[in-house]
Amino acid sequence: MLLVEDSEHDAFFLTRQLRTDGLEVASWRVDNRANFEAALAEAQWDIIVSDYVVPGFGGPEALDLAKRHAPGVPFIMVSGARGEEVAVETMRAGATDYLTKANLGRLRPIIERALEEAAERRRSAALELRLRDLENQRERLQAIARMSGGLAHEINNMLQPILGAAEFLIDDLPPGSATHEDATVIRRCARDASAIVQNVLAFARGDQQDLPEIDIRECLLRNEEVLRRSLGGGVQLALSVLPDPCLVRGSEPEFLQILVNLLRNADRAMGGRGVITIGLRCDAGFGEAGGVQIEVTDTGPGICTAEIGRIFEPFFSGSNSQEGSGLGLSVVYGIVKRWGGDILADNLPGSGARFTIRLPRITVGRPEDAHSWETMNGTCAAG
């Protein structure tokens, strides 16, 4: 409590009255404008109580300063023997309440009510700000949906000749040759890109899609080279997988989209040098039928702790490059949620970021026995 009072005696009796009434307060007394302004600048106050008359200063002037420098802090005016007209004038000027020193017994309920009302105003203001942010995000996403529909059509038109040319190359080149393998990779990537474009078009139209059954372990191993090529030359990719099938409801192009976004995000965070590990296991215990757990970890600086809760928001750009600068992590979050899963971000002990994805597993036959797993660079390992 910041107390504006020139009389030590009156300040003593005011604080003693509050303690007698069962309200313990920590107070700081000032008796001039300079000290009052300094107190407002140096600390966050829960409430201000001011005498109406302070030599060389005064309650009305303190109220005016408080409204400018500490808006939202309740201000209670206390007077020796002022009439009703002064009380009305003080309330109109913006004071929270007014009472005379003869009625200090009313001070505790006045303070408690003022603090409750101030807390409710802060909650309402925070909620209103959050609602405005959500509305702005909704409008931006609607604009993106409209724009993405047009872009998807144009990209799809460019992908068709790439697919056609890749098919011709595969037919003409000797099977088993390096160029034949390169053409096969081009065709696979073009097909995956075309599937992603179709998903974007469906999103823009608001279509609901049936998700097929896929084995994400096979998807990961089949596209290992594609994932390596998405990274810079100074980044090593390590895989840690089990031999068990990892069946989920999803799509291979979107699974690759998830991994590529997370890998490139980690690549940026590490400054193009370090190790990224993709871990996959099928005994995570997610849901009734168990789950599939995917971990992507890196050796970068990690995520700013204060911003972990916001990194999946569209357009959020944090203080660390790990948080990205656009829609990448938001897209990952949306895909995982549409697949019925969860994604969490945290930091590894020491250094490095970790993204953990958990998806419901499709069981085939009897549940597999639990396996241990260990990281082996570029290989599959069963414990």
Q: What is the pLDDT of residues 33-48, one digit of tens each?
A: 999 999 999 999 999 9
Q: Is the pLDDT of residue 373 over 60?
A: no
Reported in sequence order, the residue ranges of the chain that DSSP labels E, i.e. its strands, are 2-4, 28-30, 48-51, 75-79, 97-100, 213-215, 235-240, 247-249, 274-281, 291-298, 342-347, 353-360
What CATH superfamily classification does 213-360 receive?
Answer: Histidine kinase-like ATPase, C-terminal domain (3.30.565.10)
**Quick one: pLDDT band at residue 289, thresholds 50, 70, 90?**
low
pLDDT of amino acid 294: 92
Q: Which fold has domain 2-120?
A: Rossmann fold (3.40.50)
pTM of the model: 0.49
Domain ranges of the chain: 2-120, 142-205, 213-360
pLDDT of amino acid 246: 85
pLDDT of amino acid 239: 93
Contacts for 62 with CB less than 8 Å, ≥ 6 apart:
4, 33, 36, 48, 50, 54, 75
Q: What is the pLDDT of residues 64-82, one digit of tens each?
A: 999 999 988 999 999 876 6
**Quick one: pLDDT band at residue 109, thresholds 50, 70, 90?**
very high
**Quick one: pLDDT band at residue 29, thresholds 50, 70, 90?**
very high
pLDDT of amino acid 253: 83
> Whole-number mean pLDDT of the chain?
82
**Quick one: pLDDT band at residue 297, thresholds 50, 70, 90?**
very high
Q: Is the pLDDT of residue 127 over 90?
A: no
Report how far residue 10's alpha carbon sits from residue 39's, in angstroms, rounded to the nearest whole number.
20
Q: What is the pLDDT of residues 185-243, one digit of tens each?
A: 888 888 878 777 776 666 556 555 678 899 999 999 988 888 888 888 889 999 998 78
3-state secondary structure of 238: strand
Report how far residue 308's alpha carbon sits from residue 344's, in angstroms, rounded to the nearest whole number.
9
Q: What is the pLDDT of residues 268-281, one digit of tens each?
A: 888 889 999 999 98
The count of C-alpha atoms lying within 13 angstroms of the C-alpha of 231, restricted to the half-sphere facing its C-beta, is: 27
Q: Is the pLDDT of residue 315 over 80?
A: no
Question: Which tokens sit at 379?
Answer: 């290989």
Q: Mean pLDDT lowest for which of 55-64, 81-90, 239-248, 328-337?
A: 81-90
Report how far residue 122's alpha carbon sits from residue 114's, in angstroms, rounded to the nearest whole number.
12
> How many percent of the chain have pLDDT more than 90?
26
Side chain identity, residue 42: E
Domains 2-120 and 213-360 share a fold: no
**Quick one: pLDDT band at residue 313, thresholds 50, 70, 90?**
confident
pLDDT of amino acid 371: 37
